[in-house]
A and B are shown apart, each in its own frame.
Chain A
Amino acid sequence: MRRMGNPNRRKEHWGSRLGVVLAVAGGAVGLGNFLRFPGQAANYGGGAFMIPYLFSFLIIALPLATSEWALGRRGGRMGFHSPLGIYYAVGGKSRFWGILGGLSALTPLVISMYYIFVEAWCLVYALQYLGGLLEPLGLGFSLLDGVEPGLKLGAETGGAEYQGLFERFIGANGDGSLFKGGLSPLLLMTLACAFVNFYLIYRGVSKGIERFSKLVAPLVLICSLLVVGRVLTLGNPTGIEGQSLLDGLGFMWNPSRDVVLESGEVVHRTIWSSLANPEVWLAATSQIFFTVSICLGATCTYASYVRPDEDIALSSVTSTAANEFCEVALGGLMAIPPMIMFLGAQAADKFGSSFSLGFIALPNVFERMPFGEFFGFAFFTLLFCAAITSSISIVQPTLALFGDSLNLSRTACVGLTCLVVLSGTAFVCWFTKDLAALDAFDFWLANFAPFLGGIFQTILIAFVWNISSLRKELDRGALIRLPRFFGFVVKWISLPYLILIFAFWCYKNLAERLKGVAGSQVAQLSLLYMAGLAVGLLVLSVIVVRKWKREESAK
């Protein structure tokens, strides 16, 4: 079969095997690894949570991530790099799969819109700590002066200040508050982050993304090890009983514990009662599903740039393992234990969400920690680096979509992608009251849509493309042989399990969320905005698939 896709585009490939592994792992390692995972593990049974977590890793993360790599490279060999083109090509030139692929590009597009904003939070916090570190040299500065005059993170401000500081900083007290009195430092940093993202994407996969990933990966590792090393050498910093290092680690890893219910009653939850609770399985599977960033379009887009005879079997397992290493070995040690050591076990209820843990609880901890400014700087630099490699990976599918479907130059594709993404970022930056727009985008496109996309993608791989083609693709240039039962697992275990978990997830979350949408204008506006984008993608997909069909029949 002839190559398809955009004939005006120069063929791009990754420069090295290590480069693509670091880029995919960098795309997967994000705030979720360092903030969401520890919170979920601690809230859902600690050590008991790890059993369904590892089970889901083996039957969901590894099989689906590896399959997505194969899907992506197959599409890349046929000249496509976007989910639209890849689904169309691998789905036997079917209109249905092409259009579905086009619609699936909505997920990375919308996530990238708010991820750039969150990335800017990390950058501002990192610079804030850097300003404090430079103060003795007379070079100190504060980006939060406009938010809270004279306040510096790491200064003796008292813990209660951090919540208010964070809310004012992100504009959670009113829509449009970030735009009052000119551009706030946060908005300037958001623009700076967007510029870096689009510059790297403009440079291309090898010269931009790959080089940057090779530079940033060691930095993430160094910063993580610095923070973990500090946490593990703290002993009992407050001298309060129940707040030592071992208590912190125990809170994170003990499989049985006493839990205080909302009614105030204390119950002893054993490992067996946690495992019998379906919510623990749902939380663990959702966490593993989201952390590996499967079915977001990023992995298959990146894999489409792998050379035809290069290994993907070992590369996919390595990038997944690297992500797990960052999540469990680093994320599992650096966030919850120090929070328990400095703020006590009751803080876990108060700072349960990722943002509260990262931007309220941990700055509180760094303030009380010896050399806290330095470790605060290391921690937020780590978060920023993890976030920027993730945001680059989720912008890439949109760029590839325009590249595959419109006959545009690279510069025009980057410009168009930038325009679309920044329009959504502006929407999120305006509707900051209680982060309602960000929350709506996150719920529908980072939680709901990937499950749905994952189910369709696995059906495409297992039943349309079929398992023997998948195996053939994985064996091409493979450095390791995957077990023979791999295909069976994808088709008959991963897919039904994913459907089951999705059904349970909908049962647990949808009704409450829909009630919330009815009562919030911003949530409705956000849904409308996403629906508008979906219609745009649908129209584009229909036109492009029709054009490809015509070209095929003309040959």
Chain B
Amino acid sequence: MTLGGWISMTVTLGFVLGLFSWCCYKMATAPDAPDSPDDSDDESRDS
């Protein structure tokens, strides 16, 4: 494996591992979603 190979493997794996770890951290520390009644989903809530 050449130096270029090591660099491309490290950068690519680092990128996907970093992104995935950050997402897992955010998911794990996120508050639970508020309970929303089923009839609350009308378009007027958009405005």
Is the C-beta of A135 less than 8 angstroms from some C-beta in chain B? no
Query: Chain A contact residues (Cβ within 8 angstroms of B): what range?
Result: 35 or more
B-contacting 9-mer, from A200-208, A259-267, A307-315: A307-315
Contact among A3, A50, A249, A271 for B12, CB-based, below 8 A: A50
Determine if A479 is an interface residue (Cβ-Cβ < 8 Å): yes
B33 touches A250 (CB 8 A): no
Query: How far does the alpha carbon of A256 sit from the alpha carbon of B6 in the complex, in Å?
Result: 12
Tell me which of A318-326, A395-403, A514-522 binds B: A318-326
Q: Could you say which of B9, B34, B40 contacts A249, with CB atoms under 8 Å apart? A: B9
A191 at the interface (CB under 8 A from B): no
Q: Is B26 a contact of A314 with CB atoms below 8 Å?
A: yes
- In angstroms, Cα B20 to Cα A327, docked, is 12
If A246-B1, A249-B5 touch, does A324 touch B20 (CB 8 Å cutoff)? yes
Which residues on A sit within 8 Å (CB–CB) of B16?
321, 324-325, 327-329
* A54-B12, A54-B15 known; A253-B1 Cβ under 8 A: yes
A1-B43, A47-B5, A78-B43 given as contacts; is B12 within 8 A of A321 (CB)? no
A1 in contact with B5 (CB, 8 Å): no
**Set of chain A residues within 8 Å of B34, measured between Cβ atoms:** 309, 477
Please provide the chain B residues from 3 to 47 with a CB less than 8 Å away from any CB of chain A in the complex: 4-9, 11-13, 15-17, 19-20, 22-24, 26-27, 30, 33-34, 36, 38, 40-43, 45-46
Which chain B residue lies CB-closest to A17? B33
Are B17 and A329 closer than 8 Å at their CB atoms?
A: yes
The answer to whether A328 touches B1 (Cβ under 8 A) is no
Contacts of A325 in B (CB 8 A): 16-17, 19-20
Could you tell me the distance in whole angstroms from the C-beta of A263 to the nearest C-beta in chain B? 26
Determine whether the beta carbon of B27 is less than 8 Å from that of A47. Answer: no
In contact, A308 and B40 (Cβ under 8 angstroms): yes
| Chain B interface residue bracket vs A | 20 to 34
Q: Is the CB of B8 within 8 A of A253?
A: yes
CA distance A456 to B26 in the complex (A): 32
Pairwise interchain contact A328-B2, C-beta atoms closer than 8 A: no
Mask of A315-349 contacts with B, CB within 8 angstroms, 1/0: 10110011011011100100000000000000000
Q: How far is the CA of A321 from the CA of B46 in the complex (A)?
A: 29
- Among A46, A54, A318, A329, the residue within 8 A (CB) of B27 is A318
Which residues of chain A in 1-39 are interfacial with respect to chain B, using CB atoms and an 8 Å cutoff? 1-3, 11, 17-18, 21
Q: Tell me the residues in window 326-384 of chain A with beta carbons closer than 8 Å to chain B beta carbons.
A: 327-329, 332
In the bound complex, how far is the Cα of B41 from the Cα of A256, in angstroms? Answer: 54
Q: Are A314 and B5 in contact (CB under 8 A)?
A: no
Complex contact A50–B1 (CB within 8 A): no
Q: In the assembly, what is the distance between CA of A78 and CA of B44, in Å?
A: 11
Residue of A nearest to B28 (CB): A18
Question: Nearest chain A CB to B21's CB is how many angstroms away?
Answer: 9
Residues from chain A with Cβ under 8 Å of B7 in the complex: 47
Interface presence of A433 (CB below 8 A) = no
Instruction: Report chain B residues within 8 Å CB of A314.
Output: 23, 26-27, 30
Within 8 A of B (CB), among A75-92: 76-78
Report A341 CB to chain B, min CB distance, Å.
13
- Chain A residue numbers with a CB within 8 Å of B36 are 307-310
Complex interface: chain B residues within 8 A of A54 (CB) = 12, 15
Contact residues of B with A, CB < 8 Å? 1-2, 4-9, 11-13, 15-17, 19-20, 22-24, 26-27, 30, 33-34, 36, 38, 40-43, 45-46
- Which A residues form the contact surface with B (CB < 8 A)? 1-3, 11, 17-18, 21, 46-48, 50, 54, 76-78, 246-247, 249-250, 252-256, 271, 307-311, 314-315, 317-318, 321-322, 324-325, 327-329, 332, 469, 472, 477, 479-480
**Can you identify 12 A-B contacts, CB atoms within 8 angstroms?**
A3-B42, A249-B1, A252-B9, A253-B1, A308-B45, A318-B24, A318-B27, A325-B19, A328-B16, A329-B17, A479-B26, A480-B26
19 more CB-based (< 8 A) A-B contacts, given A250-B1, A480-B26:
A1-B43, A17-B27, A47-B9, A50-B12, A77-B42, A77-B43, A253-B8, A254-B1, A254-B2, A310-B33, A310-B36, A314-B27, A317-B19, A318-B20, A321-B20, A325-B16, A328-B12, A469-B46, A479-B26
Q: Which 7 A-B pairs have the closest CB atoms?
A: A47-B8, A250-B1, A254-B5, A318-B23, A308-B41, A325-B20, A253-B9
